[in-house]
Amino acid sequence: MIENIELKRVLPQVFRGSEKEAPVKDSELWLRESVVFSRGHNYIIEAESGTGKSSLCAFIYGSRRDYEGRILFDGQDAAALSIDRWCELRRRSLAYLPQEMRLFPELTVMENVMIKNRLTDFRSGDEIRRMLSRLEIEGKADERAGRLSVGQQQRAAIIRVLCQPFDFILIDEPVSHLDARNNQAVASLIAEEAGRQGAAVIATSVGNKIRLEEFELMRL
């Protein structure tokens, strides 16, 4: 279990030499002495395109390391973690939905979801069907993901990422293609699941924010 994720003077390497310029100089996250995300809280990171929001999610998840500074999991430097420890964190503590979703277009919605669930054995078939129904894509379960609208793909990807336990869920622009009603449905589902696990939500946005009821707003 992870209780806190701390950023200590973290900066994408691409911004090196631009510390006194936008977006770094005005950021509430980049190059700060200490930024702490705590389990059980919700955070929305508001950003403009090109300021590094997707990079931040990838840095925390460990899929990219092209940054300066330190990222600490309960005081332990992420850079010092073994491959086995990273695998364990991604199985049990860190859930991640990248902006590009990474669905397999040739597979059906259910097949995409089950790829994740077979690895974790976290959800029953009935639970998955209830989530599909709740996000109004139960009729698309047997349709290839590549044939869905982008908004439908986002909802399918959200269900897939919820097929694992987590202490922190990183969701990069999760509702960018959803209307207000579907945004609310997604927000309610994620908040309910995070609450059940005592987890934190870290969501990014470039305009259409996920409609969480309680959150701390941070500007990148």
Q: Which domains does the chain have, with CATH numbers?
A: 4-219 (3.40.50.300)
How distant, in Å, are the alpha carbons of 85, 150, 162 from that of 209?
A: 32, 17, 19
Contact assessment for residue 218 and residue 28, using Cβ atoms and an 8 Å cutoff? yes
Beta strand 168-172 with 67-73 is: unpaired
Q: What is the pLDDT of residues 83-114, one digit of tens each?
A: 999 999 999 999 999 999 999 999 999 999 99
Q: What mean pLDDT comes out for the span 131-149?
A: 97
**Would you say residue 39 has pLDDT above 90?**
yes
pLDDT given at position 22: 86
The whole-angstrom separation of Cα 18 and Cα 68 is: 13
Given this model, what pLDDT does residue 23 score? Answer: 87
pLDDT one-digit tens code per residue, 159-218: 999 999 999 999 999 999 999 999 999 999 999 999 999 999 999 999 899 999 999 999
pLDDT computed for residue 212 by the predictor:
96
With 0.85 as the threshold, say if the pTM is over it: yes
What is the pLDDT at residue 177?
96
Bridge partners (DSSP) of residue 218 are 45
Tell me how far CA of residue 216 lies from CA of 63, 71, 197, in angstroms: 25, 20, 19
Q: Using DSSP, state whether 133 is helix, strand or coil.
A: helix
β-pair type (42-46, 200-205) = parallel
